[in-house]
Structure 1
Amino acid sequence: MLAAERREHLLGLLARTGKIVAKEVAAELGISEDSVRRDLRELAAEGLCQRVYGGALPASPAVVDYDARQSVAPDGKRKVASVAAGLVRPGGSVILDGGTTALAVARALPRDLDCTVITHSPTIAAALLEHPGAELFLLGGRVFKHSAVTCGAVAVEAAQNVSADLCLLGVTGVHPEAGLTTGDAEEAAMKRALAARAADTYVLASSEKIGTASQYRVLGWEKVSGLITDADPRDAVVERVGELGVEVLAAG
């Protein structure tokens, strides 16, 4: 089989099954695992898959920069945000992660809601300035411009000194086996620090993130209370997440 044919086969397999197991593909095609891994490296370099141990998973489309992400699945993000905003109770406290879905959550919060919002996102802080009932805490640190959030050692230390009832966490990849992932190591560390300071963590994930993976792991499913998504509840990935004991809130 020619290299171009192998490439099309791998992409087709990824689309049909949601994963590639290098050992299985090598046996099926009668080629070496090294050849499969080389093909996967090339596909990953083009952003067409995310390599993982033993093979590959679909790459998340949500790893582009902040401005570009605002045009990705805006309707799905609004649906997810509407459900997420409903989890913030009067008098309650919420850690609101950065990103475009979290920004949609901020905009969905009732203007007269009395609550405490802790965030490391300057854009979310600005969006809440006209919410008179919202007590607002902005965690400082180095600004990661790709996602318009603070991160790094200073921001992580600041996060360790707060606590909240709820954390609404954004990620770029949601997969039953790979867990919750994102595209930057320091951002992943900051997300872990935020989630650790809340009684419950709910993941914000519009449908394009379901079944995909990015390079850096944020959390395993055992650390998560729920997933909020507009993906079809009958989607195989969504069902598998539910089987792991995670509450799935439909945002259809």
Structure 2
Amino acid sequence: MIKAERQNLILEYLTKDKKVLLDQISKILKVSEDTVRRDIKELSDKGLLRAVRGGAVHRSPIPLHFKERQYIDVEHKQIIAGKVLDYIKPDMVVLIDSGTSALAAVANLPKDIALTVVTNSFPVASVLEDHPKIEVLFMGGRLNKTAFSTSGFETIEAIRNIRADICLLGICSIDLNWGVTGADYEDSLIKKVMVETSKYIIALSTSDKLGTSESFYICAANRLDVIITEADPAEVDLTAYSQAGIEIR
């Protein structure tokens, strides 16, 4: 079997099973684990998957820049935004990151709700100008031009002074084994400290990000209290996440 055929089969198994393991795929392809490892590295270098210890998983399907992300899966993000309202109660302190799903949830908030919103996202802060009863605490720092948000030491230290009732966390990738991960190093550091300082974590994720992994670790999957997707939990098998103690909406 030539290399191109092997690599196509690796991608097919990855699509079907959400991951490939070196020992299993080497037996299926009847080649050594070293050969499979080299194939996976080449596919990873092309951005077609993410190599991890012992095999490979999907990469997140989303682009990195906010300008591109905000126009992807708009209908799905609106479904997610509607589900978020069940968790937001008056007078809460809500910590909100720079994800586009989080922005959709903010835009869906009732105009008369009283909240304190803490955010490092310029778009989130801008949307909340029209909500007279929402106090906005904007976390300063260095502008991350990719995410339209602030990052760096000042941002992290400011967030560490907050004990939010709820954190709305836009997810780049989540896998039960590899945890919640991100593609941008500085943005992932911000998400990590948001998780550490919040009482209740709600992850906002379109279902195609489940079972994917990126380079920068944020937290263990079971640190999340809720995962909200656009999918109907009755129609999509997310049993493994429920068994890990995560509520699925």
Range class of TM-score, shorter chain = over 0.9
**Per-residue Cα deviation, 1:208-234 (whole angstroms, up to 9, x for no partner):** 212222121211123221111123424
- Percent identity, please: 33
Render the CA deviation track for 1:110-136: whole Å, top value 9, x for unaligned: 111111100010111011011000000
Is this contact kept in 2: 1:141–1:150, CA < 8 A? yes
List alignment gaps of at least 5 residues for structure 1: none
Q: Post-superposition shift, 1:162? A: 1.3
2:2 aligned with 1:2: yes
2:106 aligned partner: 106
For 2:182 and 2:42, how far apart are their aligned partners in 1?
21
Q: Which residue of 1 aligns with 2:236?
A: 235
Structure 1 range deviating more: 209-218 or 87-96: 209-218
**Contact 2:180/2:213 (<8 A) preserved:** yes
Q: How does 1:1-252 map to 2 (within 5 A)?
A: 1-233=1-233, 234-236=235-237, 238-249=238-249
Quote the offset at 1:59 in angstroms.
1.0
* Equivalenced residues, count: 248
Cα displacement (A) at 1:141: 1.0
SS class of match (1:128): helix
Query: Once the 2 structures are TM-superposed, how far is the Cα of residue 159 of structure 1 from its aligned partner?
Result: 0.7
CA contact (8 A) 1:210 1:231 kept: no
Distance 2:173 2:138 in 1: 26
Pairwise CA distance, 1:64? 2.7
Output the TM-score relative to the length of structure 1: 0.94
Letter in 2 for 1:29: L
**In the TM superposition, what whole-angstrom CA distance separates every residue of 1:80-102 from its partner, at most 9, and x where no partner exists?**
11111331111111001112111
TM-score, normalised by the number of residues in structure 2: 0.95
SS in 1 for 2:34: helix
Which AA in structure 1 matches 2:105?
V
Return structure 1 stretches of 4+ with deviation > 4 angstroms.
none
- Does the aligned pair in 2 maintain the 1:99–1:148 contact within 8 Å? no
What is the CA deviation profile of residues 44-82 of structure 1, one whole-angstrom value per residue up to 9, with x for unaligned ones? Answer: 122211111111111111243111112221111111111
Residue 235 of structure 1, CA deviation: 3.1
> CA contact under 8 A between 2:99 and 2:169: conserved in structure 1?
no
Match of 1:102, SS state, is helix
**Cα deviation code 1:147-166 (max 9, x no counterpart):** 11211222111111112110
Structure 2 runs not aligned, ≥5 long: none
Report if the CA contact (8 A) 2:166-2:201 is conserved: yes
